[in-house]
């Protein structure tokens, strides 16, 4: 994709980390049903979502639609308070939708709990409190495999190959690691479930520019395994550089949608959100 080093052929190259059949054996008998998606329907889509937190709280999202294709990276950017994290959490079932639906791989999962969605193949890495600080790195990864009933050692090996520093520090308490290393533990733990789609809430928050670049490199590698990535990022310019698809939210609504390259070149987006 041009001369941007981050946009070279994400593709679906290695399906070893992902699980095309879903993950785990959780009871997901809540009301949901397999639909027949129209040709070209996104792999994950939160469609026309309106809602907020709690049963009587004000709406934060207003007819908001967020989608990601299989093996691609979709990023959500926008000003503070725009509803970025809320939109992603809505796709994970963490707030009540008054309107709209969430469809994963052709199945309506709108009524499922977050735990049940993990069983359907979703992984979620929150911005904070995303590791067990008193446990070792390896114990954190083992906790990530809590829904697995098979031998997960090969997946752990793949996580160590993706994040070599974690192998080196596998017996060290996760709370003793740097911020960037903690984020690697959090992402690695989510990958232990063999997700089909991975949701990342500001994965580079509070890390140095060098560590941010490294994390983005690893995120690209994860997408290359066939796992869909939906990511919220404050570092908008850098996030758009790696995005196959991007959404700018404004006050809980879709403001701009396009490829990362298109939004980077959009004069209005540059002036309003990227500093010109």
pLDDT in tens, 31-77: 334 444 455 679 999 999 999 988 888 999 999 999 999 999 999 99
Angle (nearest 5°) at CA 68 between 203 and 272: 65
User: What's the pLDDT score for residue 34?
Assistant: 44
Closest CA to 235 of 221, 216, 259: 216
The 10s digit of each residue's pLDDT in 160-213 is 999 999 999 999 999 999 999 999 999 999 999 999 999 999 999 888 889 999
User: What's the pLDDT score for residue 40?
Assistant: 64
Is residue 9 over pLDDT 60?
no
Task: Give backbone dihedrals phi and psi of 79, rounded to 5 degrees, phi first.
Answer: -70, 165
Is residue 19 over pLDDT 50?
yes
The 10s digit of each residue's pLDDT in 88-114 is 999 999 998 999 999 999 999 999 999
- Locate 116 and state its tokens: 């049940």
Average pLDDT, the chain: 86
The 10s digit of each residue's pLDDT in 228-245 is 999 999 899 999 999 999
User: What's the pLDDT score for residue 276?
Assistant: 59
User: What's the pLDDT score for residue 250?
Assistant: 95
**Section 246-251 average pLDDT:** 96
For the sheet with 33-34, list strands across it. Answer: 33-34, 107-108, 96-104, 44-52, 61-68
Cβ proximity of 145 and 133 under 8 Å: no
The 10 Å Cβ neighbour count of residue 192 is: 24
Beta strands in the chain (DSSP E): 33-34, 44-52, 61-68, 73-77, 96-104, 107-108, 122-125, 197-201, 228-232, 245-250, 253-258
Is residue 21 over pLDDT 70?
no
Is residue 15 over pLDDT 70?
no
- Three-class DSSP category at 257: strand
Cβ proximity of 43 and 228 under 8 Å: yes
User: What's the pLDDT score for residue 88?
Assistant: 94
The 10s digit of each residue's pLDDT in 122-161 is 999 998 889 999 999 999 999 999 888 899 999 999 999 9
- Locate 222 and state its tokens: 């994860």
What is the phi-psi region of residue 128: left when phi exceeds 0, alpha when psi lies from -120 to 50, beta otherwise?
A: beta
For the sheet with 73-77, list strands across it. Answer: 122-125, 197-201, 228-232, 73-77, 245-250, 253-258
The 10 Å Cβ neighbour count of residue 98 is: 12
What is the phi-psi region of residue 197: left when phi exceeds 0, alpha when psi lies from -120 to 50, beta otherwise?
A: beta
Angle (nearest 5°) at CA 202 between 67 and 273: 75
Q: Which residue has the higher pLDDT, 1 or 108?
A: 108
């Amino acid at each position: 994709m041009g001369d941007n080093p981050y946009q070279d052929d994400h593709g679906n190259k290695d399906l070893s980390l992902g699980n095309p059949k879903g993950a785990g054996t959780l009871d997901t008998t809540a009301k949901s049903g397999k639909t027949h998606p129209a040709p070209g329907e996104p792999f994950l889509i939160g469609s026309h979502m309106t809602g907020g937190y709690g049963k009587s709280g004000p709406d934060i999202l207003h007819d908001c639609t967020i989608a990601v294709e299989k093996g691609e990276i979709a990023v959500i950017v926008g000003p503070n308070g725009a509803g970025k994290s809320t939109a992603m959490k809505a796709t994970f079932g963490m707030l009540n939708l008054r309107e709209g639906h969430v469809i994963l791989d052709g199945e309506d999962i709108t009524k499922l709990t977050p735990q049940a969605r993990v069983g359907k193949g979703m992984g979620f890495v929150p911005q904070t409190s995303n590791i067990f600080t008193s446990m070792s790195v390896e114990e954190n990864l083992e906790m990530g495999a809590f829904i697995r009933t098979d031998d997960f050692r090969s997946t752990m090996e793949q996580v160590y190959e993706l994040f070599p520093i974690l192998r080196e520090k596998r017996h060290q308490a996760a709370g003793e690691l740097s911020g960037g290393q903690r984020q690697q533990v959090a992402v690695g733990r989510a990958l232990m479930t063999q997700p089909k789609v991975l949701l990342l809430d500001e994965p580079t928050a509070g890390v140095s520019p060098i560590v941010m670049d490294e994390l983005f490199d690893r995120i690209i590698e994860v997408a290359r395994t066939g796992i869909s990535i939906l990511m919220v990022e404050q570092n908008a310019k850098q996030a758009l550089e790696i995005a196959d698809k991007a959404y700018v939210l404004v006050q809980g609504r879709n403001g701009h949608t396009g490829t990362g390259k298109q939004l980077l070149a959009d004069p209005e987006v540059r002036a309003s959100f990227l500093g010109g």
